[in-house]
Structure 1
């Protein structure tokens, strides 16, 4: 059986909600260890190709995977890379008691997750702009 090259949208949304709720819980409780759940899950997804949050969420889907709106797997990997970077810097900053830096990086992830839940993917926009820049640069050579 070939591996799917897309992720069903409900699973992408689940991951976005976990990221957002983890950041909010970190802010409310001042416990940065909460960030390790989405950080490790997304980092594992980037490095190994399997996000445990998405893997567990898949068990709860009731319809065949092909019936859900597909999200590009490579795009989600790119987005997870950005989220992992920001969550990692945020977590490390909190551990070093650099609250302002921690708040800044976790706020970026929380805002991006919120906007993605609402329907606009900032990571997709960033990757598109990056590819446009690469294309234009290649044309000049």
Structure 2
């Protein structure tokens, strides 16, 4: 199966969770730029820099890992990027409540995905199902 090895996806999710946690704990909201820029790069170029860092640590060949759907991961990355942009706009526009809401939403979604339930997958499935029903 052509896909992204699950450990790479998990590493990206942990990167998002930890970035949100550190940004909110320290009040250094610029930290949210790190997952945002990484995510935008992966959406534009098609390669995630987090994967570059983690890939050498995989012990087995990629084909021995459970694979994640690249289209689904791209969709999830778009949602993450939107949340990060809205969060940063909130923090730097003087509306910290908006910043906190979107940062926390991303952090929870990424953490829940690590635990096994992908909110982005659920949203995309419902969208595709609705789109198919209308066709």
1:41 aligns to what?
38
* Count of aligned residue pairs for this structure pair: 135
- Deviations along 1:5-55, one digit per CA (max 9) or x if unpaired, are 411111100000010010011110111111111111111111110110112
Correspondence for 2:4: 7
In structure 2, the residue matched to 1:125 is 122
Specify the alignment match of 1:65 in structure 2: 62
**1:83 is aligned to 2:80:** yes
In the alignment, the residues of structure 2 paired with residue 97 and residue 6 of structure 1 have an alpha-carbon distance, to the nearest angstrom, of 41
Which residue in the other structure is 2:131 paired with? 134
Describe how 1:98-113 pairs up with structure 2 within 5 A. Answer: 98-113=95-110
- The CA RMSD over aligned residues, in Å, is 1.1
The DSSP-based 3-state class of the residue aligned with 2:68 is strand
Offset of 1:66 from its aligned partner? Answer: 0.3
Q: Aligned residue for 1:31?
A: 28
Partner Cα distance (1:54, 1:97) in 2? 34
Unaligned runs of 5+ in 1: none
Alpha-carbon separation, structure 1, partners of 2:75 and 2:11: 17
Divergent runs of 4+, >3 A = none
User: Normalising to structure 1: TM-score of the pair?
Assistant: 0.92
User: Which runs of 5 or more residues in structure 2 are unaligned?
Assistant: none
1:18 aligns to 2:6 (yes or no)? no
Separation in 1, partners of 2:43, 2:111: 21
Provide the C-alpha distance between the structure 1 equivalents of 2:110 and 2:28, rounded to a whole number of angstroms: 20
Sort the Cα spacing of 1:114 and 1:61 in 2 relative to 1 into closer, same or farther, 3 A: same
